[in-house]
């Protein structure tokens, strides 16, 4: 089989790495990919959002299966386009990906289907939004309706902060048309977990649980990022909590989609806040998480390709999916300045030494080759991922490997996985 993976982050390297282990695969392409995917696949210089260019490429190469990493092409309708051309592709269609592409659609969908979520108001003009903030007070969360590269959610501690967020989104149009509407919601308190599940539109099967680390600094300080590290399993997600999420979130999600006339196939990612009142949904994404996919792929024992095929064919079956009992931890190494401005093209050293370590894989994100040298090419540069007999061992191993890698300005959190340790006796 020939497979095309779309995207260029750590998530896509992890998917390429997992797909490459399938005996069904002859050749993998990655568009546009990074220096990590280049070692397992042929990188193709087509941007993830160039869905017409990707279609042309897939037709020319007679690609048997396309796997979409990021949300952009899903929301643009890459799945609709490929399906119309008779090509197999893994991911939800545009109308289904609206669950991520529009926070207004997502909130209305949750309310309609009794999926537990923060109380919210939806506004199409700034004065009404500001009135609402003045009425309910702070802390409060302001969310731009559309895609905003992960920056469209502002958790405001004070009223003036929330009002400034509304002005930034709706008046200054910081995120363009994504800010035509806003969702303003109650600020939930608790611990977050990522529940990522496969669905073929009928059955829904959760993957191993995981937890992301969104803030840039240790102890969850500083601004939000794309994710500075992740681990799996997340001990906060007990079997009981998982059953509750299955019953109150995942199952109503799939049946709600069917009621909308939407056949939702692919991945559904529920960002959950475990509150005193139980699990509540912060957001839905229509794709795998990044960096959660890195530890999750390390723990997936079964071949992932038959799972993708079964989902596309509407025959998802939990016997297809098996997990490694061990824990996995991913530490993200970021460029100096990230999540603000950062330089690119900085040489990375030490990667060759990692090959000698067992149960460690360095997933590349913002990297590329400059001749034979791997250099930085983004804000999140690498995801050092380790498997261990316990979360503690996995943490130690991931940091042992991290210490062997260097590039100028490199920084990372020192407390990835620490939160999980409090649950372990």
In angstroms, give the least distance from the CB of 230 to ligand GLY: 7
Instruction: Pick from 36, 73, 227, 417 the residue near ligand GLY by CB under 6 A.
Output: 227
Which among ligand GLY, ligand AMP, none contacts residue 290 (Cβ within 5 to 8 A by kind)? ligand GLY
* Residue 282 in contact with ligand AMP, rule: CB under 6 A: yes
* Window 97-136: contact mask with ligand AMP (x via CB under 6 A): ---------------------x------------------
* Residue 257 in contact with ligand AMP, rule: CB under 6 A: no
Which among ligand AMP, ligand GLY, none contacts residue 12 (Cβ within 5 to 8 A by kind)? none
In angstroms, give the least distance from the CB of 331 to ligand AMP: 19
Positions in 182-221 near ligand GLY (CB under 6 A):
212
- Return d(Cα 46, Cα 374) in angstroms, integer: 20
Instruction: Pick from 95, 185, 292, 309 the residue near ligand AMP by CB under 6 A.
Output: 185
**Nearer CB in complex with ligand GLY: 200/290:** 290
* Residue 245 in contact with ligand AMP, rule: CB under 6 A: no
CB 120, CB 183: distance < 8 Å: yes
* Residue 148 in contact with ligand AMP, rule: CB under 6 A: no
* Residue 44 in contact with ligand AMP, rule: CB under 6 A: no
- Return d(Cα 228, Cα 225) in angstroms, integer: 7
- Return d(Cα 74, Cα 11) in angstroms, integer: 15
Q: Of all helices (H) and strands (E), which one includes residue 330?
A: strand 327-334
* Residue 290 in contact with ligand AMP, rule: CB under 6 A: no
Q: Who's near 364: CB < 8 A, 6+ residues apart?
A: 10, 13, 34, 35, 36, 37, 374, 381, 382, 383
In angstroms, give the least distance from the CB of 414 to ligand GLY: 19
Binding segment for ligand AMP (CB under 6 A), chosen from 168-176, 185-193, 251-259, 309-317, is: 185-193
Instruction: Pick from 20, 44, 136, 155 the residue near ligand AMP by CB under 6 A.
Output: 155
Positions in 187-206 near ligand AMP (CB under 6 A):
187-188, 192
Cα 307 to its chain centre, rounded Å, is: 19
In angstroms, give the least distance from the CB of 185 to ligand AMP: 5
* Helix then strand then coil, % of the chain, to nearest 5: 35, 30, 40
**Nearer CB in complex with ligand GLY: 33/152:** 152
Binding segment for ligand GLY (CB under 6 A), chosen from 106-114, 151-159, 286-294, 360-368, is: 286-294
* Residue 292 in contact with ligand AMP, rule: CB under 6 A: no
By beta-carbon distance, which residue lies closest to ligand AMP? 283
**Nearer CB in complex with ligand AMP: 136/282:** 282
Which among ligand GLY, ligand AMP, none contacts residue 192 (Cβ within 5 to 8 A by kind)? ligand AMP
Instruction: Pick from 64, 95, 283, 309 the residue near ligand AMP by CB under 6 A.
Output: 283
**Nearer CB in complex with ligand AMP: 43/211:** 211
CB atoms closer than 10 angstroms to residue 307: 20
User: Among all chains, which residue has been given the structure tokens 């902060």?
Assistant: 161
CB 237, CB 243: distance < 8 Å: no
Binding segment for ligand GLY (CB under 6 A), chosen from 2-10, 51-59, 256-264, 285-293, is: 285-293
Which among ligand AMP, ligand GLY, none contacts residue 320 (Cβ within 5 to 8 A by kind)? none
User: Among all chains, which residue has been given the structure tokens 């999916």?
Assistant: 321
Sheet holding 191-199, edge to edge: 204-206, 191-199, 266-275, 278-285
Count helices and strands in the chain by DSSP H and E runs: 15, 22
Pair of tokens at residue 178: 């994504």
Interface with ligand AMP (CB under 6 A), residue total 13
Sheet holding 380-388, edge to edge: 211-212, 229-232, 327-334, 380-388, 360-364
Residue 144 phi/psi, 5-degree rounding, is -65, 145
Nearest to 97, CA basis, from 346, 231, 284, 329:
284
> 410 to each of 222, 237, 315, 334, 338, how far by Cα in Å?
17, 32, 44, 6, 10
List residues binding ligand GLY (CB under 6 A): 212, 227, 285, 289-290, 292
């Amino acid at each position: 089989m020939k497979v095309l993976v779309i995207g260029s982050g750590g998530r896509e390297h992890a998917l390429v790495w997992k797909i490459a282990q399938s005996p069904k695969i002859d050749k993998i392409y990655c568009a546009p990919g990074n220096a990590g995917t280049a070692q397992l696949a042929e990188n193709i210089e087509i941007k993830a959002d160039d869905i017409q260019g990707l279609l042309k490429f897939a037709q020319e190469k007679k690609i048997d299966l396309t796997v979409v990493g990021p949300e952009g092409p899903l929301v643009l309708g890459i799945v609709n386009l490929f399906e119309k051309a008779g090509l197999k592709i893994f991911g939800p269609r545009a109308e289904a990906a609206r669950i991520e592409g529009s926070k207004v659609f997502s909130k209305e969908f949750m309310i309609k289907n009794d999926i537990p979520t923060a109380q919210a108001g939806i506004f199409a003009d700034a004065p009404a939004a500001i009135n609402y903030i003045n009425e309910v007070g702070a802390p409060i969360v302001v969310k731009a309706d559309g895609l905003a590269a992960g920056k469209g959610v502002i958790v405001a501690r004070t009223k003036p902060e929330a009002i400034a967020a509304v002005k930034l989104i709706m008046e200054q149009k910081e995120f363009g048309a994504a800010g035509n509407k806003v969702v303003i919601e109650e600020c939930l308190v608790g611990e977050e977990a990522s529940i990522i599940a496969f669905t073929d539109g009928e059955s829904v099967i959760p993957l191993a649980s995981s937890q992301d680390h969104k803030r840039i600094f240790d102890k969850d300080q500083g601004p939000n990022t794309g994710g500075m590290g992740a681990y799996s399993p997340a001990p906060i997600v007990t079997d009981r909590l998982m059953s509750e999420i299955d019953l109150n979130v995942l199952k109503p999600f799939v049946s709600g989609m069917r009621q909308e006339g939407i056949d939702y196939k692919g991945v559904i990612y529920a960002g959950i806040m475990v509150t005193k009142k139980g699990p509540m949904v912060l957001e839905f994404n229509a794709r795998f998480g990044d960096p959660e996919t890195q530890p999750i792929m390390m723990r997936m024992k079964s071949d992932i390709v038959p799972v993708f095929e079964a989902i596309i064919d509407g025959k998802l079956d939990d016997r297809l999916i098996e997990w490694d009992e061990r824990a996995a931890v991913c530490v993200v190494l970021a460029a100096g300045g990230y999540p603000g401005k950062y330089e690119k093209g900085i040489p990375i050293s030490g990667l060759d030494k990692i090959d000698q370590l067992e149960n460690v894989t360095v997933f590349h994100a913002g990297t590329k080759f400059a001749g034979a040298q791997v250099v930085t090419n983004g804000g999140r540069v690498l995801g050092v991922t380790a498997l261990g007999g316990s979360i503690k061992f996995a943490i130690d191993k991931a940091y042992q490997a991290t210490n062997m890698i260097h590039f100028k300005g490199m920084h990372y959190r020192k407390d990835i996985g620490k939160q999980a340790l409090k649950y372990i006796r």
